[in-house]
Amino acid sequence: MKRNIQTLRTNKVRKAQLKLSKHREMGTESPIDIHEVASLMDLVKNRTSVENDTLMFSINMN
Confidence grade of residue 45 (pLDDT, cut at 50, 70, 90): confident
Q: Is the pLDDT of residue 20 over 90?
A: yes
List pLDDT tens digits, range 26-44.
999 999 999 999 999 988 8
In three-state form (DSSP H/G/I as H, E/B as E, the rest C), the secondary structure along 29-52 is: HCCCCHHHHHHHHHHHHCCHHHHH
| pLDDT the model gives residue 32 | 92
Spatial separation of the C-alpha atoms in residues 9 and 4, rounded to whole Å: 9
Q: Is this structure's pTM higher than 0.85?
A: no
Domain residue spans of the chain: 2-61
